[in-house]
Amino acid sequence: MFRRFATGLLCGLLLGVGPVMAQLKPSVRLELATNSNLEESFDVTPLGTEGVLVTVRHGDYYSSQPVKFSFQRYDTDLKPIWQSEHKIDSYFEPVRSCQTAQFQYWLLRESGGDHIQILRVNLADGQTELFKGNLLTQVDVLTFRILDNVAYIGGNYRNRPMVLVFSFFDQTSKVLPGLYNNHIQLNDIQVDEQQRVVHVMTDATHQRNCDFTIHTYSYEGKLLNTINLDGATNSLISGKLLPINNEEALLVGNYSTDCTPYSQGIYVTRIRNGEALTKETRYVSFADLKNFFNYMKPKRQQRMMDRIVRRKTQGKDTKFRYRLLVHDLIPTADGLMLLAEVYYPQYKGSTNSMMFTGGLRSFDRFQDGYRYTHAFLCGIDNRGQLLWDNCLPIKDLSSFELHPMVQASRQDDLTVLAYPQDGEITMEVLQGNKVLPEKQALSLKKLVANEKVLYSEDEQLAAWYDQHFLAFGFQKITPERSSAPPREVFYLNKLTYRLDKDGKPIDSASDDGQPTRKTSGSER
């Protein structure tokens, strides 16, 4: 994510932040001071049990001065491990970033040109390397993936898909074969580190039918296999691959019936030895999910269910028009979980551009972010059978950028779903198709005694490791009984939950609910 805010030095750590809730408790807080008058951006990369990487970019890409990248890695208690810096030319802008087990990568592109740079950061010690190359043409970059010492850069050129292969060894570029065709668009790129292959997903429109194709390439860029899934009946909108073993994988995503981005349900198909078992593909309509409509109010939900039953008795299917943001698949002991968020674009009208044409009044509309209505979770076994489904209602949550807001954390057979909103974290505990406790909300607005949060912006949440989430964003904080000016900070909050086998909260004896403040290092 790219946020233009300024940062200062480390303010300190807040421990035992309150108020505390029975289920989700803040344990450690890190603050970085900011200054909105300067041009800077923040990016947070959770590293699981290895901690977290915070990247701060200082400078203006449109000035003549170099832009400085500041990389700061912290452990799971948000204590600093190392810090490093790297300066880039101001006419190179960050386009995409991605991460492997050992490195974080930033794809930088020359403004108005074809030259690229890839900045590699060693997560162990912060050492940086810069690799320079060429895009070969003016491609609109959409996807950036890394496999070992090769970068795969996917995008569109003249409305056709193109995937560029860039080698770190000799810093040369080439184009993957078999993709640059009419009526085809790039869907996704997925790498398989175990098999050392790359899967390029494309979809194509042919006479109102949408085909979904998986092109599998070797590490060197040789086309190994092509799987085409005909969209004559149902069109696949997205596809996520999860290997089950060396011979078999599951392809899971959402589908439509009319070659549009509006989903009718989810599908699961098995792939064995490079071939799709299309006869075993299972299409599950939203109408067949038991809890998909739980986000609605009871009367509206009942009307929807009555309509579905009525149309089924008439031999008709109910048509849906849902947009889905499908997350990466979550492996489980039984198979996998599919998590997706339902959203719709928000628009605003511009009265300044209102015109009268032929006696009719018209005005321009422009997109103003996205609104999320609910998330749903499905359990699927290794043979592609739907085991259960559940739903998390989302109330009045909007975001200017479309990115995952709901995060999932696992404890045995329990799943905790949570999302940030207006300085609070809302969470729910699920066990298959059961919702265990009531939905809870944890406020991050009250920090320590005599301080309060005036507002929060760009709030994000990440499932970190074990029973821990990581919340981060911007806050403006003011003393309650002091004339001191408010401070603006970029914060990271470690949040912890503890549940028994029945999903009930376990309170730690040390959690007395009293907010205390401890510092690490000097405060500024």
DSSP state string for 410-422: EETTEEEEEEEET
Lowest mean pLDDT among 59-63, 68-72, 231-235, 338-342: 59-63
In this predicted model, what pLDDT tens digit does every residue of 113-137 receive, in sequence order? 889 999 999 999 999 999 999 988 8
The number of beta carbons lying within 10 Å of the beta carbon of residue 433 is 16
Q: What is the pLDDT of residue 62?
A: 64
Contact 396, 343 (CB under 8 A): no
Q: Is 349 helix (H, G, I), strand (E, B) or coil?
A: strand
Structure-token match 């959770």, residue found: 46
Confidence of residue 63 (pLDDT cuts 50, 70, 90): low
For residues 507 and 403, the model is more confident at: 403
Q: What is the pLDDT of residue 230?
A: 81
* 293 phi/psi in degrees, rounded to 5: -95, 15
For residues 507 and 347, the model is more confident at: 347
Mean pLDDT (whole number) for 457-480: 92
Confidence of residue 349 (pLDDT cuts 50, 70, 90): low
For residues 514 and 153, the model is more confident at: 153
Confidence of residue 507 (pLDDT cuts 50, 70, 90): low
Contact 55, 70 (CB under 8 A): yes
Contact 231, 209 (CB under 8 A): yes
- What is the rounded radius of gyration, in angstroms, for the C-alpha atoms of the chain? 25
Q: What is the pLDDT of residue 23?
A: 67
In this predicted model, what pLDDT tens digit does every residue of 20-33 receive, in sequence order? 333 688 889 999 98
Looking at the whole model, is its pTM more than 0.75? yes
Q: What is the pLDDT of residue 364?
A: 57
Q: Is the pLDDT of residue 85 over 70?
A: yes
| Cα–Cα distances in angstroms (integers) from residue 157 to residues 121, 132, 160, in the given order | 29, 21, 5
The set of residues, in sequence order, having a beta carbon less than 8 Å from that of 497 and lying 6+ positions away, is 23, 24, 25, 409, 411, 416, 427, 467, 469, 505
Mean pLDDT (whole number) for 339-364: 65
Confidence of residue 335 (pLDDT cuts 50, 70, 90): very high
Instruction: Tell me the average pLDDT of the chain.
Output: 85
List of long-range contacts for 498-503, beta carbons under 8 Å, 24+ apart:
498/467, 499/23, 499/411, 499/414, 499/416, 499/429, 499/467, 501/412, 502/436, 503/414, 503/429, 503/431, 503/436, 503/437
- DSSP for 219-257, written as a single string: TTS-EEEEEEE--SS-EE---EEEE-SSSEEEEEEEEES
One-letter amino acid at 261 equals: P
Q: Is the pLDDT of residue 84 over 60?
A: yes
Q: What is the pLDDT of residue 354?
A: 41
In this predicted model, what pLDDT tens digit does every residue of 160-194 receive, in sequence order? 899 999 999 999 999 999 888 878 899 999 999 99
d(CA 462, CA 520): 24
The order of strands in the sheet holding 209-218 is: 184-192, 197-206, 209-218, 223-229
In this predicted model, what pLDDT tens digit does every residue of 32-61 receive, in sequence order? 988 777 788 999 999 999 999 999 998 766
Q: Is the pLDDT of residue 518 over 60?
A: no
Q: What is the pLDDT of residue 206?
A: 67
If you count DSSP H runs as helices and E runs as strands, how many of each does the chain have, helices first? 1, 37
Rounded (10°) CA dihedral 144, 241, 161, 210: -150
The length of the chain is 524
Contact 141, 95 (CB under 8 A): yes
Q: Is 297 helix (H, G, I), strand (E, B) or coil?
A: coil
Q: What is the pLDDT of residue 441?
A: 82
The set of residues, in sequence order, having a beta carbon less than 8 Å from that of 103 and lying 6+ positions away, is 120, 121, 122, 123, 146
Lowest mean pLDDT among 326-335, 358-367, 382-391, 513-522: 513-522
Q: Is the pLDDT of residue 511 over 70?
A: no
Mean pLDDT (whole number) for 377-402: 94
In this predicted model, what pLDDT tens digit does every residue of 278-329 receive, in sequence order? 888 999 999 999 999 999 999 999 999 999 999 999 988 888 999 999 999 9
Q: Which residues pair with 364 in a beta bridge?
A: 350
d(CA 366, CA 96): 25
Burial class (CB in 10 A: 0-12, 13-18, 19+), 102: exposed
User: Percent of the chain, pLDDT > 70?
Assistant: 86
Instruction: Sort strands 235-236 and 248-256 into parallel, antiparallel or unpaired.
Output: antiparallel
